[in-house]
Amino acid sequence: MTGESEVSALLFKLAIILISAKIFGEIVENRFKQPAVLGELLAGMVIGPFALGPYIGIHPVPGAPLPIPPDVDMIANISVILLLFVAGLETDIEKFLRFGLISGLVGAMGIVLPFFLGFLAIELFYDAPNKFAAGLFTGAALTATSVGITARVLNDLGKLTTPEGSTILGAAVIDDVLGILVLAIVVAITGVEGEAMSTFEIAKTIVIAVVFWIGVIFLGLKFVDQISRILSMFKMPGSQLTVAIAFGLMISYLASLVKLAPIIGAYAAGLALSASAHRDFLAERMIPIYEFLVPIFFVAMGMLVDVKRIPEIALLGVVIIVFAIIGKFFGCYVAAYFGGFNKHGASRIGIGMVPRGEVGLIVAYYGLKYGVIDEHIYTIAVVMSFVTTMITPPLLKKTFENPVEGWVEKRKSSA
């Protein structure tokens, strides 16, 4: 009976989450002409454990770093894996490879400046027993752009395959890879797991991560014809889609085995299939599943915000949020501009790289778990993720309203 009651409770929570997501999404999109993802985040704040949640069975989890129910968190994680798989599937692989070098430069610059500013904020405005370690974890939490949020916003705007969109998405993925590596390095330096990692072990982790991601994409492109033939072997309705999703889930699992975020594997799997003859067919069939599952992730993101704690962290919170925004924007703007975009394209890329999410929260989670940062810094990390996510869609939409091309070919005529 206990299992049945847990399933019943989950069904009720999912129904509330989906209804709220669509109601708030409709209001934000139709009334305020902004991407529906903002409405989904707001829905999460309203029905989350710190607002109306306890009245509908969504309670804060005592002692848990993430306050949302574990069953909701599990489905949200599956949702974001699906989101990244679809984003990879819909990516124009030729443009992705064409802008790969620029994406790498943008991703790297988008790591360095936010990390430094996050560390500086703790040094100047925070008092902790181990300020150095707290600064490292805070800086690391500011590094990684949210691939899921970025992909959703670009998709909503219909800009996923533009030069800016390809660069932003590629850089965001690289950011997440680097963000996980930064976390591993920070854990190694601080020795919070009991023993600091050697330089060799750190280098080994970096090499494995890079080889895995590049390897999946390379093998997918090399054997694209064979993959298409395998998919064509399945004739039953829905079989090809099921096999493709299973492929994405398997690559996500393999990514986790080499200490990468599963979302990195999901995006790489989608990219590997994007060159196949089944790309358009799979993308079209994924739409209903996407529309059902993906809003759950963004509602769950909104649920993490405890607005009642914000006054306690006002000064430090404002400093870190401002540093997070300007660090990411200017770091990526400079890289994009010198990488070949004009000021319009560089601005779009800088803004598109601002939102933080999954990896930043993972870093904050480990910092809290190891006792390096306290609940105040953790709350700041959550609020920072929310604020950067909230401001990006309208700003990015505004920059794309200007029809001027952002790529270097138009620089002289539009700069």
Please say whether the beta carbons of 146 and 213 come within 8 A. Answer: no
Tell whether the model's pLDDT for residue 411 goes beyond 50: no
Which residue in 178, 169, 179 sits closest to 349, CA to CA? 169
Mean pLDDT in residue range 192-207:
66
- Is residue 329, in this structure, part of any structural domain at all? yes
pLDDT value at residue 238? 85
Mean pLDDT in residue range 361-368:
76
3 state SS of 1: coil
pLDDT category, 358, cuts 50, 70, 90? Answer: low
CATH number of residue 326's parent domain:
1.20.1530.20
pLDDT category, 197, cuts 50, 70, 90? Answer: low
pLDDT value at residue 301? 80
pLDDT value at residue 275? 82
Per the listing, tokens 């150095």 go with 132
Tell me phi and psi for residue 407, to 5 degrees. -80, 160
pLDDT category, 80, cuts 50, 70, 90? Answer: confident
Q: What is the mean pLDDT of the chain?
A: 83
What is the Cα–Cα distance from 115 to 135, expressed in whole angstroms? 9
pLDDT value at residue 65? 59
Alpha carbon separation from 36 to 27, 106, 170, 201, 305 (Å, rounded): 8, 27, 23, 43, 19
- Is residue 43, in this structure, part of any structural domain at all? no
Kindly tell me the sign of the dihedral angle through the C-alpha atoms of 300, 304, 308, 310: negative
pLDDT digits (tens, 9 = 90+) for 96-111: 777 778 888 998 898 9
Give 274-280's long-range contacts (Cβ < 8 A, gap of 24+): 274/88, 274/89, 274/90, 274/91, 274/92, 274/93, 275/93, 275/220, 275/221, 275/224, 276/224, 276/227, 276/228, 276/231, 277/228, 278/228, 278/231, 278/232, 278/240, 278/244, 279/89
pLDDT value at residue 193? 57
Tell whether the model's pLDDT for residue 325 goes beyond 50: yes
When mean pLDDT is compared across 126-135, 136-145, 339-348, the lowest value belongs to 126-135
Q: Which H or E run includes 215? A: helix 199-222
Alpha carbon separation from 34 to 29, 47, 81, 291, 295 (Å, rounded): 5, 21, 24, 17, 15
pLDDT value at residue 295? 92
pLDDT value at residue 64? 67
Beta-bridged to residue 145, according to DSSP, are: 356
Please say whether the beta carbons of 265 and 256 come within 8 A. Answer: yes
What is the Cα–Cα distance from 205 to 264, expressed in whole angstroms? 15
- Is residue 36, in this structure, part of any structural domain at all? no
- Is residue 117, in this structure, part of any structural domain at all? yes
What is the Cα–Cα distance from 362 to 378, expressed in whole angstroms? 10
pLDDT digits (tens, 9 = 90+) for 268-318: 899 888 888 888 889 899 999 999 998 998 898 888 777 777 787 788 899
Tell whether the model's pLDDT for residue 186 goes beyond 60: yes
What total number of domains does the chain contain? 1
Please say whether the beta carbons of 345 and 106 come within 8 A. Answer: no
Q: 26-41: b or e for each residue (b if 16 or more CB lie within 10 Å)?
A: ebbbeeeebbbbbbbb
pLDDT category, 87, cuts 50, 70, 90? Answer: confident
- Is residue 46, in this structure, part of any structural domain at all? no
Tell whether the model's pLDDT for residue 345 goes beyond 80: yes
- Is residue 186, in this structure, part of any structural domain at all? yes
- Is residue 343, in this structure, part of any structural domain at all? yes
When mean pLDDT is compared across 49-63, 120-134, 347-361, 364-378, the lowest value belongs to 364-378
Tell whether the model's pLDDT for residue 253 goes beyond 90: yes
In terms of average pLDDT, the best of 40-44, 47-51, 322-326 is 322-326
Quick one: tokens of 175? Answer: 């950011």
Give the total residue count for the chain.
Answer: 415
The conformation of residue 341, written as its DSSP 8-state character, comes to B
pLDDT category, 410, cuts 50, 70, 90? Answer: very low
> Domain of 301?
68-401
pLDDT value at residue 199? 67
In terms of average pLDDT, the best of 55-64, 124-133, 212-221, 231-240 is 231-240
Please say whether the beta carbons of 252 and 81 come within 8 A. Answer: yes
The conformation of residue 209, written as its DSSP 8-state character, comes to H
- Is residue 24, in this structure, part of any structural domain at all? no
